[in-house]
Every structure is written in C-alpha cells, then in structure tokens.
Amino acid sequence: MFFYEVDNEIQLKLITQNDAEEIFAFIDRSRDYLREWLGWVDNTKTVEDTRDFAAMNLSKFAKREGLDTAIFYKGQFVGKVSINTINWSLKKCEIGYFLDEEFQGEGIMTRAVKGIIDIAFNEYKLGKVEIHAAVNNTKSRHIAERLGFMHEGTIRQAEWLYNHYVDHAVYGLLKDEWVGEYK
C-alpha cells in the first residue's frame, strides 16, 4: 500500500476499506462543518458508504487515475488530501483536501498539500497541479497561495452546493515553478 512521510509529524496513507469506520466517525461528527464546502457529505450516511468510496478510490489508484490519502498527524487521522483526477495526456492533476476543524492553524494542511505536490511532480512526473476552491473558501485558497500557486481565473457557478451555486477560484502550479517550499 501507498505511504508517504511528509515529515516527523505528518504521514499520508492510501485510504482503504479498513479506514472506513474511523473516517466515517469523523465525517459524522463534523457534518455541519464539512457541509460548508463539500457537496458529498449528505451522501455519506453509513460506514458502508465510506467503504464503497474507499473501494472506488483504490480502483482509481490501481489504474493511476487518482490518489486518495488520509492525513495522520502524530498518529491521529485529521483529514484528507487527494489527487482527485489525473489527466495523463495533459500531464496535470487536480488536488483537493479537508482538515479537522480542531487541527487548523498548525500548518498541517500546508505540509500535507506540499507532500501531495511532491508526489504529483516527482513520482507521477506531472507538469501541472491545479486546485479548485470555492471563491469564499479563504482557508483553502490561502493554502494554494502559500504554496506559490498562481490564481488563473474563476469559474462561475462551478459547483452546486446543496441549495446554491458556488464559483470556483482556479489555481495552478507548474513543475518548473515548484521550489518545494512555502511562504
């Protein structure tokens, strides 16, 4: 299985069906918080839904179409960072992430995203990483900006989020621009 050590506190581990109970418990207790920016929360009603999602992502990983990892901070599950899609013909990917509200402000997500960028550029040999974040999701946007991504534009009504549309800010980082550090 896939395992990546970001630093001495943070590890990224491929999500498997064995992680379903722990991840579902997190989702279940964090529903209100996660619903603000994640449209799939209401479709995750049971541990079995989480197992099915893990199985789908394992299949994507086996086909080299994506990489869904759990973030462990000091041995505790605190969130997710993923290569959601890979376009091999364009040599680019889109990443996404979320972090437990209790662990924000510690630099965990910035370091975890830095790890997934390293994987995209150095292991998958991609040329571009994109982040799409809701325009008003300032925390996610700050991660992209801190890591040197360029704001490339805004997609209007990019996502239907429960009862309204949200616009997405699109950020891009080219391999040639990546210095492996953040601001």
Q: What's the average model confidence in pLDDT over 146-168?
A: 95
Q: Is the pLDDT of residue 183 over 60?
A: no
Residues 6+ apart with CB under 8 A from 38: 98
pLDDT in tens, 66-116: 999 999 999 999 999 999 999 999 999 999 999 999 999 999 999 999 999
Residue 120's pLDDT band (cuts 50, 70, 90): very high
Does the pLDDT of residue 1 top 80, yes or no? no
pTM for the whole structure = 0.92
Mean of the pLDDT values across residues 13-42? 87
Q: What is the CATH number of domain 3-127?
A: 3.40.630.30
